[in-house]
Copies of this chain bind each other. A is one copy, B any other.
């Protein structure tokens, strides 16, 4: 099954929430600190309780890299627990000159066997091509991000009247000859999302920024509904992982995920 098929299957089942595994040792339940491997036990419990309702898992590489070798071992072991029919996104924001990007692509796709990756488009097409050459994978490329700093460069106006992020969206549509591109659009920018969603074409969309960062779930779904577009993922990390800081954390995470799915469903039904 290709990465795009995995995503579409989940979307067809009405699952749109991606669980972000930004697992932070300082935020997981304190009682786990006596476990032999707190991070892995936490991830295991979260995945087991959410796997039937999750549309995808997004693994934030930074949270594992900070622990060096040990962190990468946790990363590999976490990936092994995720059911094979569920999309695994390496949230790594890579992008470099060609021969270096080839190595990064080998890392996320061959070594870690992720289905998808997040990429930074700054250096242009040839910096992403080694990833785009993996036809079965899915490459979510940054356009307009969810953070404040998006105004520094992404929202700069070009001399032809477009914003930089709009020029990027156009390029991604052009680069999609293998049907393995997607885009990342920060959910905090709901008005820009509404204005630009038509330009996404058939590209799948990953939307971080709902919850802790201030984006509203309902605003996002309304934007997609207005464009009659249904291949998207709303990422929630902290809002699911740390719903409870007690022994019931996995149960509460699952409850929250089910609740989020219901909220998506109710907006979809309202709109129809």
- Point out residues on A near B: beta carbons under 8 Å: 22, 60, 62-63, 65-69, 72-73, 76, 91, 93-101, 103-104, 106-107, 110-112, 120-128, 142, 145-154, 156-159, 161, 164, 167-168, 171, 208, 213
Contacts and interface: CB of A to CB of B under 8 A. Distances in A.
B126 A147 contact: yes
Contact of A145 (B123, B149, B151, B161): B123
B121 A66 contact: no
Nearest to A157: B159
Given A125-B149, A126-B147, 18 more contacts: A62-B96, A62-B103, A65-B104, A66-B107, A66-B111, A95-B120, A97-B146, A97-B147, A97-B208, A97-B213, A122-B145, A122-B153, A123-B150, A125-B152, A127-B149, A153-B167, A158-B158, A159-B161
A65 B124 contact: no
A165 B108 CA distance: 29
Contact of A100 (B63, B72, B148): B63
How many identical chains are in the complex? Answer: 2
Contacts of A100: 22, 60, 62-63, 91
A108 to B, nearest CB: 9
Contact of A124 (B96, B154, B213): B154
A271 to B, nearest CB: 30
Given A63-B100, A93-B94, A122-B121, A68 B107 contact: yes
A167 B171 contact: no
Contacts of A159: 157-159, 161
A124 B103 contact: no
Contacts of A164: 153, 156, 164
